[in-house]
């Protein structure tokens, strides 16, 4: 998993509340268990005029002109700002996979669904919770400024605007450690390789008949 330390990036606004995981990545894409390849299908039913299916070539699909991520000014965005209860609905891990594969490594909202929130950390995405007043500032600034960017500093736990406005956010110490060091569950386990090997050797010595 790629480490997350600081990020200065373009912001895309998704001014909707209660965006569920079926909107983020529709159910037909759950047929695949690969962790990549979902980016072009992120928000598929909102992004395209036609019905998407796994394996489709999205380059020539008809796009909805009024959908925010289809607008040229947001094509390179890496930070998504949205409203409360983002990621609600089913617990599919494909949702953060699709967000990450589309180039987003940070999502900022007033609240997240618990399972989605946890899955973000496990996949290298930083979900930041800011209150409604702070979110209004971000949405207003994004609407007023083409090329609106934010500076995210995970170690300092800050979100900074070019205007000098700075918001702070809370994050669990263990999750912060994992993101800063690029540690997913597998990497955390592998870090204990010597201890695991020693345990197995001792267990084999004490109970050789099991082996």
Strands 149-153, 106-109: pairing kind: unpaired
Q: Which domains does the chain have, with CATH numbers?
A: 6-183 (3.20.19.10)
Give residue-wise pLDDT tens across range 5-54.
Answer: 999 999 999 999 999 999 999 999 998 888 899 999 999 999 999 999 99
- Higher local confidence (pLDDT), 35 or 152: 152
pTM given for the model: 0.90
Give the DSSP H/E element, type plus range, for residue 24. helix 21-24
pLDDT score of 33: 81
DSSP structural state of residue 64 = P
Cα dist from 120 to 52, 59, 108, whole Å = 24, 27, 12
Give residue-wise pLDDT tens across range 110-137.
Answer: 999 999 999 999 999 999 999 999 999 9
CA proximity to 6, closest of 205, 186, 179: 179
Cα dist from 210 to 147, 197, 205, 206, 207, whole Å = 63, 16, 10, 10, 6
CA proximity to 92, closest of 25, 185, 164: 25
């Amino acid at each position: 998993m790629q480490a997350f330390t600081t990020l200065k990036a373009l912001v895309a606004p998704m001014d909707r509340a209660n965006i569920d995981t079926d909107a983020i990545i529709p159910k037909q894409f759950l047929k695949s268990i690969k962790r990549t390849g979902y980016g072009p299908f992120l928000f598929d039913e909102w992004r395209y005029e036609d019905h998407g299916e796994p394996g489709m070539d999205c380059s020539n699909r008809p796009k909805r002109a009024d959908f925010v991520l289809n607008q040229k000014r947001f094509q390179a965005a890496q930070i998504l700002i949205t409203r409360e209860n983002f990621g609600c609905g089913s617990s599919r891990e494909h949702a953060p996979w699709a967000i990450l594969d589309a180039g987003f490594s940070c999502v900022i909202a007033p609240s997240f669904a618990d399972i989605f929130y946890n899955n973000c950390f496990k996949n290298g995405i930083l979900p930041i919770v800011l209150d409604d007043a702070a979110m209004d500032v971000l949405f207003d600034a994004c609407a007023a400024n083409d090329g609106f960017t934010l500076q995210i500093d995970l170690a300092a736990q800050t979100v900074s605007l070019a205007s000098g406005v700075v918001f702070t956010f809370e994050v669990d110490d263990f999750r912060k450690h994992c993101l800063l060091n690029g540690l997913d569950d597998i990497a955390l386990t592998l870090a204990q390789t010597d201890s695991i090997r020693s345990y197995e050797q001792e267990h084999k010595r004490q109970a050789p008949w099991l082996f």
